């Protein structure tokens, strides 16, 4: 009984001391993987333990970009509420807005715009979210971007 109790105490201590910002070989953190999977419960737990919402992996991706690309609206809302930078850029210059636009996630595009995303930021190839929306024929997203001042 004593051994089980001691083991439980050690296990609780190890979990409590877990480095929530520990990176893997790609520079990704547990928060980034939880955002990718749309695991709102895990995202909440990691944020409560102090996970940094603006860490970038080796390519410059943030948890918000990953959530946006995968269509996880609730996760994106939570990340933004906890200080995620809506205008961060990858090494290629892509933004969360571009990551939400390319797969056609209109509600995520709207969320980002409502929270201050710069509609005219360009990637390293000079492309904006509007240019991507136009290339894919996303008429509703085009109209939304233009309503926030997107320039051709």
Q: Is the pTM of this model over 0.75?
A: yes
Please report, to the nearest 10 degrees, the dihedral formed by the alpha carbons of residues 88, 63, 28, 100 taken in order: -80
- Rounded CA separation 68/109 (Å): 8
User: Looking at the chain, how many residues does it have?
Assistant: 152
- Rounded CA separation 18/144 (Å): 42
**Which two structure tokens, joined as six digits, stand for 30?**
């547990």
- For residue 55, count other CB atoms closer than 10 A to its CB: 16
The Cα angle at residue 57 between residues 70 and 133, in degrees rounded to 5: 40
Q: Render each residue's pLDDT in the chain as its tens digit; 152 residues.
A: 555 554 444 444 445 557 999 999 999 999 999 999 999 999 999 999 999 999 999 999 999 999 999 999 999 999 999 999 999 999 999 999 999 999 999 999 999 999 999 999 999 999 999 999 999 999 999 999 999 999 98
* pLDDT at 152 (0 to 100): 83
- Return the CATH number of the domain spanning residue range 20-147: 1.25.40.20
Do residues 150 and 143 touch, judged by C-beta distance below 8 A?
Answer: no
Do residues 67 and 36 touch, judged by C-beta distance below 8 A?
Answer: yes
- Rounded CA separation 83/94 (Å): 19
């Amino acid at each position: 009984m004593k051994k089980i109790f001691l083991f439980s105490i050690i296990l609780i201590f190890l979990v409590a001391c877990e480095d929530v910002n520990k990176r893997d070989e790609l520079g990704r953190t547990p928060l980034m993987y939880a955002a990718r999977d749309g695991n709102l419960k895990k995202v909440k737990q990691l944020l409560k333990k102090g996970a940094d919402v603006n860490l970038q992996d080796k390519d410059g991706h943030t948890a918000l970009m990953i959530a946006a690309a995968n269509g996880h609206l609730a996760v994106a809302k939570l990340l933004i509420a906890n200080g995620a930078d809506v205008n961060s850029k990858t090494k290629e210059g892509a933004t969360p807005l571009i990551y939400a636009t390319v797969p056609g996630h209109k509600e995520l595009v709207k969320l980002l715009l409502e929270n201050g995303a710069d509609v005219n930021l360009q990637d390293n190839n000079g492309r904006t979210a509007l240019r991507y929306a136009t290339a894919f024929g996303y008429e509703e997203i085009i109209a939304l971007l233009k309503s926030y001042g997107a320039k051709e």
